[in-house]
Chains A and B, each alone.
Chain A
Amino acid sequence: MTEPDAETTPLASPENPAAARARRGRNLAIALGLVGFVVLVYLVTVFRMGGNVLDRPL
């Protein structure tokens, strides 16, 4: 059994600059989408509950 050659492993292969830029852009878009989703869920929770948050037995 031989160890994988770092130079021929896909993960280690040099990526062309255009592909790297495209991937960075996609990653940023996904990150923004996830942050937006969190904000949306937060807003929905706040506005759906509204004043009802205080309307409960303490």
Chain B
Amino acid sequence: MTPPAVVQASSPARWQDFVQLLKPRVMSLVVFTAATGLICAQAPIHPVMGAIAILCIAVGAGASASLNMWYDADIDARMRRTRGRPVPAGRVQPADALALGIVLSLFSVMLLGLALNWLAAGLLAFTIFFYAVVYTMWLKRWTAQNIVIGGLAGALPPVIGWAAAAGQAPLDAWILCAIIFMWTPPHFWALSLYTSEDYAAAGVPMLPVTAGAAVTRRQIWIYSLLLIPVCLAPAATGLGGAAYLAVAALGGAVFLLLAWRVRSGRAGDAADPRVTDGLYDVKAAARDARNLFAYSILYLTLLFATLLGEHLLGSAAPGLPGGLI
């Protein structure tokens, strides 16, 4: 484990800088997927305990993000998208980011174990370890399959939520995990098709950097074909109802259409495809990849929101949240 280079502080750290270390936008996605798992478990859990479980999972995700920003400060400093982060910008010292990550990791795992159960706490500890050590310190700098394998860390929150509520992690919980796991490669590779110059400059072996844009476009198509059946699985097991089936099928058809456009287009071939440092303002050649990236977020949100809605609307039934304890 190599500690990052010490960064000279350019201005005093504000509390907002420490919040930024936790990647609040990623945390909001984690809260959403973990809450879906927790609600779908249909276990008699008090709302306050459910909220504490979600808080622990969110803080755990924030802790792993802080550890990631501590270790990746050298990479972040070389990428347009990330060079304004608190550590590479010099607003927070690396040691402070490391300390925050460790303290919040211990806090979130211990509180989840004491308040809910140790299966959920163990899964949370594994998730933090997998993201901070396996993905950040090893996979990210070593293999083009980094986001495929590392995607497991982002896929586990619904399982943790389910385990927190029910004390177990059945097949349906792992189906939710599989949806996010299979969704991650087309989502991130679509993004990397038009940000590959950043990754190349930072020495991160993303697929477009190591294998080229054409291979990446083909891999996006293959993973998209594998993703849709997984998204339909909840309808087969009874986890999702008719509304879910409709959203998964229709939304999946749009996903495949956009993935095919990427597959048959030239996204990633042109140099410097971005107009600004933002993620959505791109030149014409990269629009297919940008569209798939943006739509993939909407599709995943719709899938989980529909599941959430179906289970909350059925909350009049005994045993569901609403008639708790």
Within 8 A of B (CB), among A1-58: 18-19, 22-23, 25-26, 28-29, 37, 40, 43-44, 47-48, 50
A19 CA / B48 CA spacing, docked (Å) = 38
Decide: A44 and B12 in contact? CB cutoff 8 A. no
The answer to whether B1 has its CB under 8 Å from any CB of chain A is: no
- The answer to whether B325 and A28 touch across the interface, beta carbons within 8 angstroms, is no
Distance of A2 Cα from B51 Cα, bound (Å): 58
Residues of A within 8 A of B12 (CB): 18-19, 22-23
Q: Given A44-B115, A50-B325 in contact, is the A18-B11 Cβ separation under 8 Å? A: yes
CB nearest neighbor in A for B51: A43
Main secondary structure of the interface of B (DSSP, over half): helix
On whether the beta carbons of B52 and A44 are closer than 8 Å, the reply is yes
Interface residues of A, dominant DSSP = helix
Cα-based distance from A50 to B46 in the complex (angstroms): 11
Residues B52 and A40 in contact, CB atoms below 8 Å apart: yes
B15 touches A43 (CB 8 A): no
Judged by a CB distance under 8 angstroms, whether B316 is at the interface is no
Q: Is B129 an interface residue (CB 8 A)?
A: no
- CB-CB under 8 A from A23, the residues of chain B are 12
Q: Is there a chain A Cβ closer than 8 Å to B236's Cβ?
A: no
**Which of B14, B15, B48: most chain A CB closer than 10 A?**
B15
User: Can you name 16 extra interface pairs (CB under 8 A) apart from A26-B14, A44-B114?
Assistant: A18-B11, A18-B12, A19-B12, A22-B11, A22-B12, A22-B13, A25-B16, A29-B15, A29-B18, A40-B111, A43-B52, A44-B111, A44-B115, A48-B49, A48-B114, A50-B325
10 CB contacts below 8 A, A to B, read: A18-B11, A22-B13, A22-B14, A25-B14, A25-B15, A40-B55, A40-B111, A47-B49, A48-B115, A50-B325
